[in-house]
Amino acid sequence: MFKKILVLIMATVLGISCIGCGWASVGDPPVYTSDEKYEIGMWVGISDSYKIYDGNGVYTGETHVLTDEEFLEKYQEIADAGFTTAFPGYEMMNDGGAYNFKALEAASKVGIKHIIADGTLKNELLSARSNVEQGVKSEEQIVNRVKEIIQPYLDSEFSDALCGFMIRDEPSRSLYEDLAFGYKIFKQAAPDLVYYVNLFPVIAGGSQLSGTGEAIKYVDYVDDWIEMIEDDYISYDHYPLYKSGSDYSLEPSFLYNMDVMQTAIKKEGTDRQLWTFLQSIAFGSRNRGLESKVDASFQAYSFLAFGGEGIQWFTYTCPPPNDGATNFGNNALLDRNYEKTTTYDYVAATNLEIQGLMKYYKNFEWQGVILSSVYDDSENFAYLGNSENVLQSTEQLTAFTSTEDAFTGVFKDKDGNEAYLLVNFTDPALNRQNEVTLNISGKSAVLIVRGGKETTQAVSGGKLKLTLEPGEGVFVLPY
């Protein structure tokens, strides 16, 4: 009799202790699947040789030519770090020549894509408008010539790795007509390949944006691009992590740049994807390198929570100490002698977390963001002003609060179910935890995806409380 009572007591205790710790105790969580990966690329990829620098960053006069085995090994490192697309090495960013075929082979063998640069192709495309207007060539002739230039890549045994071609970085508005005409030519010749152009950030000066000395607004710079180049993506760069002496800070327009882009995409009314560059190297007078994994994840989760669909890290390997305009550190994912740095570990861990989230994320469409402003010491929330992308609540998420600055992206699936990507939006250098509270109506539990792991938790009294670590993003799916 005593044994029976003991068994009953133990069963009761075990039943109580499991509440909230397993899926069965809070009902069956939603099931989503997707084979899609998040688009992750880079600036400054692997060259087939590199200059050797000493410990002081001085070029020794020697160059190391990578063997085929070393070259492939470096591409395997790219794939292992969660990247989906490689970019050319520093010396090959304008014209790769024979390197392009070697790069496509390596990318194909490790299962990723590659954007390459062909100087002849780029010149043909960017001069196309003037050549047609001046009667030098017909549009048909240029299309055929572009097909001829691209065909050897398509005929390659490793053409499956060809993603597209680098065309222009940070063009001024004065170049849009040439770029738009070149885009029209390119898409007639190669409709399935990427015509890669990356735009200026919002902090670029008005005359820099125009290219004519005239001051123009950034929103006009973006709107004109979207109107003239009807591509399926838009890309820009903006880097938020600053350090001056021992003082850390964030660029105040980091989120605003995302907001401008998303507003323009919504106005267009298409499924154009938003891509960005995030920082992974120290450069200039204040942009700092990554000091921990949270420096990488803070940037990435902020962008995902704003509905971004493609990240490119600036940079993968290090440019020269000075490229003629900017000073660069030696702390990208690979240093100048192609050795992994701690930054490789930080970015790889972040990339792989993001890829693990995609079976959920890819089933949802971004709706906007909800802010919880406590201090707003970086002024990012103030910059958003009265943006149409900033929501106060939803029918299901009636309130969102936090002990430190935080925001959540709001997402919906095809059936109208909501999900939220919560972000601890404090400078990761401050190392602040952040307790967030979600008032969730009509749901009894949530599926939580964080750090590549999935758990469930009951919604008690209509509220969910979570503690976000520095730089952390957490995907929450109520059910």
Q: In what order do the strands lie in the sheet with 365-372?
A: 390-391, 365-372, 406-412, 418-424, 473-478, 445-450, 453-458
- Written as one letter, the residue type at 376 is D
Checking 182-187 for CB contacts under 8 A at 24+ apart, the result is: 182/125, 182/126, 182/128, 182/129, 183/125, 183/229, 183/231, 185/125, 185/128, 185/139, 185/142, 185/143, 185/146, 186/125, 186/146
Each residue's pLDDT tens digit, 69-127: 999 999 999 999 999 999 999 999 999 999 999 999 999 999 999 999 999 999 999 99
Q: Does CATH place domain 2-30+365-478 in 2.60.40?
A: yes
> What mean pLDDT value characterizes the chain?
94
Q: Which CATH superfamily is domain 39-361 in?
A: Glycosidases (3.20.20.80)
Cα angle value 211/217/219 (rounded, 5°):
115
Instruction: Give the pLDDT score at 56.
Output: 84
Mean pLDDT for 272-294 is: 98
pLDDT over 50 at 13, yes or no: no
**pLDDT tens digits, one per residue of 143-165:** 999 999 999 999 999 999 999 99
Strand order in the sheet with 113-116: 85-86, 113-116, 162-169, 194-198
Please list, in sequence order, all residues whose beta carbon lies within 8 angstroms of the beta carbon of residue 389, skipping any fewer than 6 positions away.
259, 262, 263, 266, 306, 368, 369
- pLDDT at residue 213 above 60? yes
Domains 2-30+365-478 and 39-361 share a fold: no
Alpha-carbon distance values, 22 to 26, 185, 357 (Å): 7, 56, 20
Interval 339-354 mean pLDDT: 98
Checking if the pLDDT of 9 tops 50, the result is no
Segments making up each domain of the chain, as ranges: 2-30+365-478, 39-361
pLDDT at 17: 35
Q: Which pLDDT score, from 0 to 100, does residue 25 have? A: 59
pLDDT band at 12 (very low <50, low <70, confident <90, very high): very low
The better pLDDT of the pair 358, 19 is held by 358
Q: Which residue has the tokens 């050549």?
A: 131
The yes-or-no verdict on residue 24 having pLDDT over 70 is no
Asked if residue 200 lies in contact with residue 210, where contact means CB atoms within 8 angstroms, the answer is no
Q: What is the mean pLDDT of residues 17-27?
A: 47
Please state, in angstroms and as integers, the Cα–Cα distance from residue 177 to each residue in 129, 159, 182, 397, following that order: 8, 30, 8, 45
Percent of the chain with pLDDT over 70: 95
Split at pLDDT 50, 70, 90, the class of 206 is: confident
The pTM assigned to this predicted structure is: 0.94
Instruction: Give pLDDT, residue 55.
Output: 82
Quick check: 314 pLDDT over 80?
yes
